[in-house]
Amino acid sequence: MSALETLWAGLSVATHSLTDRGSKTPRFLRRNAQPIVLLHGFAASSLALLPLADHLTRRLGRPVLRLRLSDRLALNLADIRHSAARASKAVEQLAQVPGFRYADVVGHSLGGLVATYWLKRLDRERRIRRVITLGTPHRGAPLALAGALVFGAFSRAIWQMLPGSPFLRELEALPVPEGAELISVCAEADLVVPRTSAYLAPEPRHRNEMLAELDHLGFLHHARCHTFVESALATANRGRAAARRRLRAPAPKRRSLEWA
């Protein structure tokens, strides 16, 4: 993707974000079709994730919810903790829908930090099964310092993404709850969030993956990324189904030992 194409794609995302309304909550959930929640990045909206949402709906047959993280502005500049609380509240409401058992969450860029904070700090009811972050600055974004010159006066989130920020140190120290998983996906050609900025520390239930020949906006529209997310979520489905089968299987009979 050339620099001109990247700029055009970014302007397109920002323009369409002005009409963002998010997605509607389903009225009923089938047992094998649990929801997938998509979280957008900084200064963007959930409309940027429409291509991924369409792909996952078509291939997995599961309802996909694009959550709008900002309650006032069309473009999200809010504190990451506030955005996570907003997302958590939305899924607590979704948990009241008949058939709800869990949700998987996919976050692009800053949306991945929102999802990670939500999973590690706020998900007390264990609603989340798996979080996949795409081009997310778990170790901070070097470009955030330049961004602070533009957005710093009215965006707390840009300061939270600085390498070594108190927010990122807090997030790294928190464990992923048992029964959940956090996957960070970086892109080989991502200049906004380089590989070293996206890597998770080698902790339990952390996993790092890399996609070749993608840049930061490629996560939004490239088929390679969409297929990876589809595969990761489908694998989780099979793993959970196998676990249920093991639980339902009758326990093996034990022979009693008799002493002579």
pLDDT tens-place string over residues 109-145: 999 999 999 999 999 888 999 999 999 999 999 888 8
How far apart CA 106 and CA 240 sit, in angstroms, is 18
The pLDDT confidence band at residue 237, using thresholds 50, 70 and 90, is: low
How far apart (Å, rounded) are the C-alpha atoms in residues 32 and 226?
20
Domain positions in the chain are: 32-247
The answer to whether 9 and 221 have CB atoms below 8 angstroms apart is: yes
Say whether domain 32-247 belongs to CATH 3.30.420.60.
no
Q: What is the mean pLDDT of residues 174-193?
A: 95
- The model's pTM is 0.81
Q: Are 161 and 137 in contact (CB under 8 A)?
A: yes
Give the whole-angstrom CA distance, residue 84 versus residue 98: 24
Q: What is the mean pLDDT of residues 31-57?
A: 90
Average pLDDT over residues 106-111: 97
pLDDT in the model for residue 164: 95
Q: Which two tokens stand for residue 190?
A: 């991502």
How many CB atoms are closer than 10 A to CB 48?
Answer: 27
Q: How far is CA 254 from CA 249, 250, 251, 257, 258, in A?
A: 15, 12, 9, 9, 13
Instruction: Return the pLDDT at 82.
Output: 93
Closest CA to 198 of 189, 149, 76: 189
**pLDDT over 60 (residue 26):** no
What DSSP assignment string belongs to 79-101? -HHHHHHHHHHHHHHHTTSTT--
Distance CA 129, CA 101 (A): 9
